[in-house]
């Protein structure tokens, strides 16, 4: 029997799940996340090893969803010293790299910056050609001072040739240096794409430690499996691919929950409400995949334009503090987090939490909980919880039409079975570990967002070229070529550009190539 292992490392808990070849859950497990993270992963694996129906040798696929890269940016820790090369001269100098970045994040990267000749017009015509003497100067400038490099050219999503040439030139001088290329990461929009590429380069050491640590944890348990990491479009990528594009792991936690919710509920289109200990993340399922945002997204205070899920977060969860202000009640955003079992009134503490209120009104049952000391008017407070979530769900809807709402996460039981604006409320089996289920699911994706000038190519050829490029991305990330399907194909006219230009967005997905 082939078994899939899915693990999702969150800020409070590390969740694990084992699934059979038919994607049925065999068993699941939760354990507190540890400071070194991998102790938590090892604990999960050791607990699975004691399950009577499980043989660890049957695990052929092991997948990991992790917040490491997000945390590294937010905490400004374990980030590479980055060299930034922009291909833009003689234009593209008005706004320098790192404009608008938080000062402490720039200081953490200790950047070396070089602006050189290069870049393209919107139609692929070169602004100027690459100059070898400039590249040689850049190599000497950065030698011994940087640990990774970000290369970004004007309009490189239209044509990658110059970026590829510069990367190959640098690789001959720095054969072991990780180099990130903007046309493979972001969309049109020089500054946001450059920002995303710099962050990707900064995360190289962090992702390598995560990937190698996961391999180590599996090896020590005697598990020989294909290793994949979750990415933020709800699909997977190989460990090697993740080490090239660590930025794609950012926000993979909520997307894992959305994918897991789709699988556990067998619903393809819905609102997913993932309630944790501190926050609630609300996302949208579209054809079993998370809806992507069309807006620029800030990561650690930096504006970027690479693909990100459309997620709305509110400060509500099982550990949310409930306090009285004047004659009204305030819900969050403060939370006792992982200290719930010590600080909540129902468990002997002195803090009134959302869990206490849900227990007292009878919506939730937890063995060992004692609500007798709760004196607050819980029946007046509890409707505030449902109102918070209902308003957040309404914000994510595109019409007033009721839509299914799927509740997942450790705090899913806080909500009732009826919610305003929902056609039905679904709380599937194994909802508390939906994130680990989503991590274990096996699809691999490829995504392309590219500008084509129709004066140089036909509309049909542009779409076909974008599809082929997306398929190659998926294959490189670990998908089986013969089973890849196009799940999203859109094109938009760019009225502000001459030459009848269009923006093409393509997403493909397929099962793992095992």
**Poorest-confidence range of 6-15, 21-30, 72-81, 141-150?**
6-15
pLDDT score, position 373: 92
Q: Tell me how far apart the alpha carbons of residues 338 and 278 are, in angstroms, rounded to a whole number.
A: 9
pLDDT score, position 497: 67
pLDDT score, position 279: 82
Proportion of the chain above pLDDT 70, given as a percent? 98
Q: Average of pLDDT values for 127-152?
A: 96
SS3 letters across 11-26? CCEEEEEEECCCCCEE
* Antiparallel, parallel or unpaired: β 3-9 and 13-19: antiparallel
Q: Average of pLDDT values for 216-231?
A: 88
Q: Average of pLDDT values for 329-334?
A: 87
Q: Average of pLDDT values for 77-92?
A: 93
pLDDT score, position 82: 98
What 8-state DSSP symbol labels residue 33? P
Grade residue 467 by pLDDT with cuts at 50, 70 and 90: very high
Grade residue 181 by pLDDT with cuts at 50, 70 and 90: very high
pLDDT score, position 496: 66
Task: Judge whether 425 and 417 are in contact, CB under 8 Å.
Answer: yes
Q: Is 264 left (phi over 0), alpha (psi -120 to 50) or beta?
A: alpha
Q: Tell me how far apart the alpha carbons of residues 144 and 179 are, in angstroms, rounded to a whole number.
A: 15
Q: Is the pLDDT higher at 76 or at 71?
A: 76
Q: Is the pLDDT higher at 70 or at 244?
A: 244
Q: Which residues of 341-378 are buried (b: 16+ CB within 10 A; e: fewer)?
A: bebbbbbebebbbbbbbbbbbebbeeeebeeeebebeb
pLDDT score, position 340: 84
Q: Which residues of 82-121 are buried (b: 16+ CB within 10 A; e: fewer)?
A: bbbbbbbbeebeeeebbeebeeebbebbebbbbbbbbbbb
Q: Average of pLDDT values for 334-355?
A: 89
Residue 316: CB atoms within 10 A of its CB come to 24
pLDDT score, position 498: 66
CA 457, chain centre distance (Å): 34
Q: Is the pLDDT higher at 63 or at 478?
A: 63
Q: Which helix (H) or strand (E) holds 355?
A: helix 354-360
Grade residue 478 by pLDDT with cuts at 50, 70 and 90: confident
Q: Please say if the pLDDT value at position 202 is more than 70.
A: yes
Q: Which helix (H) or strand (E) holds 325?
A: strand 320-325
- Give the dihedral of Cα atoms 245, 247, 253, 256; nearest 10 deg: -40
**Poorest-confidence range of 125-134, 203-212, 233-242, 380-389?**
233-242
Q: Tell me how far apart the alpha carbons of residues 468 and 504 are, in angstroms, rounded to a whole number.
A: 12
Grade residue 150 by pLDDT with cuts at 50, 70 and 90: very high
Would the pTM of this model clear 0.85, i.e. be above it? no
**Average confidence score pLDDT of the chain:** 89
DSSP 233-271: TS-EEEHHHHHH-GGGGTTHHHHHHHHHHHHHHT-SSEE
pLDDT score, position 133: 96
Grade residue 403 by pLDDT with cuts at 50, 70 and 90: very high
Q: Please say if the pLDDT value at position 255 is more than 80.
A: yes
Is 341 strand, coil or helix? helix
Task: Judge whether 6 and 436 are in contact, CB under 8 Å.
Answer: yes
Q: What does the pLDDT look like over 14-38, one tens digit per residue?
A: 889 999 888 899 999 888 777 676 7
CA 164, chain centre distance (Å): 26
pLDDT score, position 499: 67
Residues 6+ apart with CB under 8 A from 272: 257, 258, 261, 262, 282, 283, 284, 285, 405, 406, 408
Q: Is 368 left (phi over 0), alpha (psi -120 to 50) or beta?
A: left
Q: Average of pLDDT values for 194-206?
A: 95
Q: What does the pLDDT look like over 29-75, one tens digit per residue?
A: 888 777 676 788 888 998 898 888 888 888 989 999 887 888 788 78
Q: Average of pLDDT values for 289-307?
A: 82
pLDDT score, position 143: 96
């Amino acid at each position: 029997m082939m078994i899939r292992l899915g693990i999702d490392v969150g800020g409070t808990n590390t969740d694990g799940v084992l699934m059979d070849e038919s994607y049925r859950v065999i068993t699941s497990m939760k354990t507190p996340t540890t400071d070194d993270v991998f102790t938590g992963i090892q604990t999960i694996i050791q607990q699975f090893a004691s399950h009577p129906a499980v043989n660890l040798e049957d695990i052929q696929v092991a997948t990991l969803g992790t917040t490491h890269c997000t945390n590294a940016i937010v905490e400004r820790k374990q980030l590479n010293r980055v060299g930034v090369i922009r291909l833009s001269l003689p234009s593209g100098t008005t706004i320098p790299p790192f404009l608008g970045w938080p000062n402490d994040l720039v200081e953490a990267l200790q950047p070396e910056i070089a602006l050189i000749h290069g870049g393209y017009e919107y139609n692929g015509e070169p602004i100027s050609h690459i100059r070898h003497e400039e590249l040689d100067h850049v190599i000497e400038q950065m030698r011994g001072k940087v640990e990774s490099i970000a290369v970004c050219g004007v309009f490189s999503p239209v044509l990658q040739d110059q970026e590829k040439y510069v990367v190959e030139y640098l690789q001959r001088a720095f054969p072991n240096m990780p180099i990130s290329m903007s046309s493979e990461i972001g969309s049109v929009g020089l500054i946001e794409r450059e920002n995303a590429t710099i962050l990707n380069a900064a995360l190289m050491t962090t992702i390598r430690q995560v990937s190698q640590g996961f391999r180590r944890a599996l090896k020590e348990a005697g598990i020989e499996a294909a290793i994949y990491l979750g990415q933020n479009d709800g699909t997977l990528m190989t460990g090697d691919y993740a080490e090239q594009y660590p930025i794609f792991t950012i926000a993979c936690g909520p997307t894992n929950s959305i994918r897991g919710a789709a699988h556990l509920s067998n619903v393809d289109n819905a609102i997913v409400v993932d309630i944790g200990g501190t926050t609630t993340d609300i996302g949208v399922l579209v054809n079993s995949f998370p809806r992507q945002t069309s807006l620029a997204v800030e990561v650690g205070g930096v504006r970027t334009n690479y693909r990100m899920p459309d997620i709305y977060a509110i400060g509500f969860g099982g550990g949310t503090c409930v306090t009285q202000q004047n004659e009204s009640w305030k819900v969050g955003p403060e939370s006792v987090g992982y200290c719930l079992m010590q600080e909540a009134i129902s468990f002997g503490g002195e803090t009134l939490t959302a869990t206490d209120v849900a227990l007292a009104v009878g919506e939730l049952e937890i063995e060992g909980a004692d609500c007798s000391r709760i004196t607050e008017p819980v029946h007046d407070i509890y409707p505030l919880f449902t109102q918070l979530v209902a308003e957040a769900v309404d914000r994510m809807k595109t019409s007033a039409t009721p839509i299914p709402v799927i509740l997942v996460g450790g705090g899913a039981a806080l909500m009732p079975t009826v919610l305003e604006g929902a056609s039905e409320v679904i709380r599937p089996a194994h909802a508390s570990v939906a994130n680990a289920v989503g991590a274990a699911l096996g699809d691999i994706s490829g995504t392309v967002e590219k500008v084509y000038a129709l004066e140089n190519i036909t509309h049909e050829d542009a779409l076909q070229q974008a599809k082929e490029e997306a398929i190659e991305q998926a294959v490189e990330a670990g998908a089986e070529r013969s089973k890849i399907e196009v799940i999203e194909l859109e094109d938009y006219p760019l009225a502000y550009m001459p030459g009848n230009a269009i923006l093409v967005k393509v997403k493909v997905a397929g099962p793992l190539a095992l």
